[in-house]
A and B are shown apart, each in its own frame.
Chain A
Amino acid sequence: MKRASVWILLCWLFLLSGCVKTSFPPIADSLSVIISLDVKAETVTFLNTNNGEKVARWNINEPFQGGALSPDGRMLLLYGRDLDRVYRYDLATGKPLEEWKTGSGIVSAAPSPDGRMWFFGDSVHNAVRVIGRDGKEIARLSVGRSPMTLLVNRHGMRLYAIDFQDGRAFVIDVEGRRVLHSFAVPKLALGGLVRERQGELWVGGHGSGNKVEKNIHVYSLQDGRLLRTLAAPVMPVDFAETNRGVFVLSHGSNTVYQFSPDGKKLASASVGANPFAMEAASGRLYIASYDSDEIIVVDEATMRPLARWKTGDGPLQLLIREGR
């Protein structure tokens, strides 16, 4: 009798402990940080944007593959194809927020600019799922098998979902919750840039089979026509547009290219070891070097490296959170 009660107590304690989630070191709201998502180590590293000092490292211990920041910069969201839910964290407290049970297969995420909605690329349901701030699904729009790139235009009216497997891009009317049209893009397309003023969608990719992608494909935002291709070997996968032009990161050749707004190649620089991600802020490019586990800071103007900051193992994606 006594033993049974002890067991029940232990079980109860165990259940309680399961409910208590570990919280991480908080990230002050005032701090500008560059957030490195280290997929090999399953950690998130926060570095001070100004000097690269490590602010905190969160050991997530879940096989996440990507993440996104809420537009207000308060909430970090992590997802992964093999995770059955989306993990959310409050940066200011370091505490986990309520998880969203999306089911597995999430391969991309993007918030609407107003922060009222989230878009998730779902490779299990072959859909873009629209989820409200409360975690309730608002809509589910059928697209290709693996919508790995989600791009939202500035006003949040259009969502561009570029499929990785099927070689198609889908244009979605956010308000109307429908797919307007789709057009062919190269297979294994990844990364893109919406240039509304020019009416262009730049699409990068790995290239399929043993053929590696050497070009950026530029499509018309209007009708999906292929306008031109821009050489950017090898495997252009990330883009950043600033007032100095469009910067393109090619991971196969460890090169960053600078293009003029009208698509003329201005400069290129060798950078990192197998870099996958690039973010631009205050005249600098932050480039995550996947194989050497570091962020390389490059001056936009000179294209020369300014600093190398250590991250966790395998930085696959960078996020920038401006301090307030």
Chain B
Amino acid sequence: MRRLRLGQKVWLSISAAVIVTLAFSFGLLNYFYRAVYMKEVEQTLIAEGTSLARDYRGGAISEPYRRQIEWYDEKSTATILLIDNPRELSACWPFPVGYDSLVSGRDRETLLSGQPVVKTGYEKRFGRRVMAVVVPLLDGKRLEGAIYLYLPLADVQEATKRAAAAFWPLAAMFAAALLVAGRRMVRQMTEPLQAMEKAAGRMAEGRYEAAIPVRTDDEIGRLAKAFNQMADAIAKEDERKREFLANVSHELCTPLSYMKGYSEALLADLAKTREEEQAYLRLIHRETERMERLVRDLLDLARLEGQSVPLERAPVAFAQVIEDVIATYEPIAAQKRIKLSCDLDYDLIVNGDADRLEQVVRNLLDNAIRYTPEGGAVTVRLSRLSEAEGELVIQDTGKGIPKDQLPFLGQRFFRVDRARTRKEGGTGLGLAIVKQIVALHGGAIHFDSDLGQGTTVSVRLPLVQEED
């Protein structure tokens, strides 16, 4: 058998629910007629019978009493019989008289105990289904007679039939409306799901545009929205990956082509002198180092992003780390005649990985010094923002970054000026690494710059709070 689709299943469930509900309500309607209406009729008959029986004064049934009952019979909607024939009262019950009495032997027992008898069903004597109530006329223990009141069940059930006649067309309309509404609802519900299924299939083939229509704001609508977002994210990620691959190949290609060209030149004895040869080798060596740095940074970034090497956290005196890094950069700064000044708060303790934090400072300082022209200034400041947060600010007087490029800082291989940076030896991964490390420490990095105005990088990190 073919598997049912979700829409069909829901539709079938709705249909089943509608049918069951209607059947149930019809049953309930019938039940109420039986339980309430029939009971009501029964109670009325009993009340009438009992009331009539109250006028019986004992002894044999008198003629006036009989006339009274006959008179009442004419007035009442129910048919009322006065039975005083012992045969009809099953007086001969212990003997097989073979007569179908109006009052059976068992009924007689009930009547003798003073209780009325209620019978519902086919009565042979009247040739139809009746609801009958028999009320005893007792004189002590003598069953002198009985008042037999009955209504044809057809009359009683006429009401049920009328109700059913009204019920079924209404029920059919109701069901049809429900089913149509249900069908629309099901379609509305399953359409986005089907679209998602198709989109997922397309995505498997590498086409990432989803554009699932979002019609509602319920779970399905939100799912569609989330699906669209996911598709966008995947598309972007895919795009980034492509770009990254292109960047990596490009970055690797450049030093490789250098190395290839110069080594070919060497092999072809193009170097005229020993000095020239040395120069070629130095170039090759430089490119090897560049490649090594690139590969190391890539590996580093991959590790940080994949969190394959967890941070080795320990309370770190951040100022000390910064001071150590600055010490290593002092000669370079001096060489470029850059004024390197610092203002550090030594009380700040960061719960972090000392080596990684050092890497952050190194990369940022490296950038600052690298892009600051000779005679410029680089300022390093570490201060407390609040009890829980410290801020490292590295400010340079370099050429700055255009405002519109700021959001791209920290992306892999993003360079403000591609040609120049390569010349200056960066891999384009330093800031990405910094950003990753800061994020892993639960901090945030912020760039502020404008072309020609210098750049300010501020890193906020959570501090170890002093215990009371």
Q: Could you list which residues of chain A lie within 8 angstroms of chain B, going by C-beta atoms?
A: 39, 65, 81, 146, 148, 164-165, 188, 190, 206-212, 234-235, 251-254, 272-274, 276, 289-292, 314, 316
Q: Could you list which residues of chain B lie within 8 angstroms of chain A, going by C-beta atoms?
A: 60, 85-88, 91-92, 94-99, 112, 140-143
When C-beta atoms are compared, the residue in chain B nearest to A313 turns out to be: B109
In contact, B141 and A289 (Cβ under 8 angstroms): yes
B92 CB to nearest chain A CB (Å): 5
8 Å CB contact of B91 from A188, A274, A289, A292: A274
Asked if A164 meets B99 with Cβ closer than 8 Å, knowing A254-B142, A274-B91, the reply is no
Task: Enumerate chain A residues within 8 angstroms of B60, measured Cβ to Cβ.
Answer: 253
A315 CA to B91 CA in the complex, in Å? 14
B54 CB to nearest chain A CB (Å): 21
8 Å CB contact of A164 from B95, B112, B141, B143: B95
When C-beta atoms are compared, the residue in chain B nearest to A190 turns out to be: B95
A274 CB to nearest chain B CB (Å): 5
The 7 closest A-B pairs by CB, nearest first: A292-B141, A252-B86, A273-B141, A273-B142, A206-B92, A212-B87, A291-B141
In contact, A316 and B140 (Cβ under 8 angstroms): no
B57 CB to nearest chain A CB (Å): 15
Asked if A273 meets B143 with Cβ closer than 8 Å, knowing A210-B85, A212-B87, the reply is yes
A-B contact pairs, 22 of them (CB 8 A): A39-B94, A165-B98, A208-B97, A208-B99, A209-B99, A210-B88, A212-B86, A212-B87, A234-B86, A235-B86, A251-B86, A251-B92, A252-B86, A252-B87, A252-B91, A253-B60, A253-B86, A273-B140, A273-B143, A274-B91, A274-B142, A291-B112
Q: What 6 additional pairs, Cβ within 8 angstroms, besides A252-B87, A292-B142? A: A206-B92, A209-B99, A212-B87, A234-B86, A289-B141, A291-B142
A211 CA to B95 CA in the complex, in Å? 16
Task: Enumerate chain A residues within 8 angstroms of B143, measured Cβ to Cβ.
Answer: 273-274, 291
8 Å CB contact of B85 from A39, A208, A212: A212
In contact, B91 and A235 (Cβ under 8 angstroms): yes
When C-beta atoms are compared, the residue in chain B nearest to A276 turns out to be: B94
Task: Enumerate chain B residues within 8 angstroms of A290, measured Cβ to Cβ.
Answer: 94
A104 CA to B446 CA in the complex, in Å? 113
A65 CA to B94 CA in the complex, in Å? 8
When C-beta atoms are compared, the residue in chain A nearest to B88 turns out to be: A210
A39 CA to B109 CA in the complex, in Å? 14
In contact, A206 and B95 (Cβ under 8 angstroms): yes
In contact, A210 and B141 (Cβ under 8 angstroms): no
Task: Enumerate chain B residues within 8 angstroms of A165, measured Cβ to Cβ.
Answer: 98
Task: Enumerate chain B residues within 8 angstroms of A190, measured Cβ to Cβ.
Answer: 95
A290 CA to B94 CA in the complex, in Å? 10
A161 CB to nearest chain B CB (Å): 16
A251 CA to B142 CA in the complex, in Å? 11
In contact, A292 and B140 (Cβ under 8 angstroms): yes
In contact, A316 and B142 (Cβ under 8 angstroms): no
In contact, A164 and B96 (Cβ under 8 angstroms): yes
When C-beta atoms are compared, the residue in chain B nearest to A146 turns out to be: B96
In contact, B141 and A207 (Cβ under 8 angstroms): no
Task: Enumerate chain B residues within 8 angstroms of A210, measured Cβ to Cβ.
Answer: 85, 87-88, 99
Task: Enumerate chain A residues within 8 angstroms of B85, measured Cβ to Cβ.
Answer: 210, 212
Task: Enumerate chain B residues within 8 angstroms of A254, measured Cβ to Cβ.
Answer: 142
A65 CA to B112 CA in the complex, in Å? 21
A42 CB to nearest chain B CB (Å): 13
When C-beta atoms are compared, the residue in chain B nearest to A123 turns out to be: B96
A117 CA to B60 CA in the complex, in Å? 45
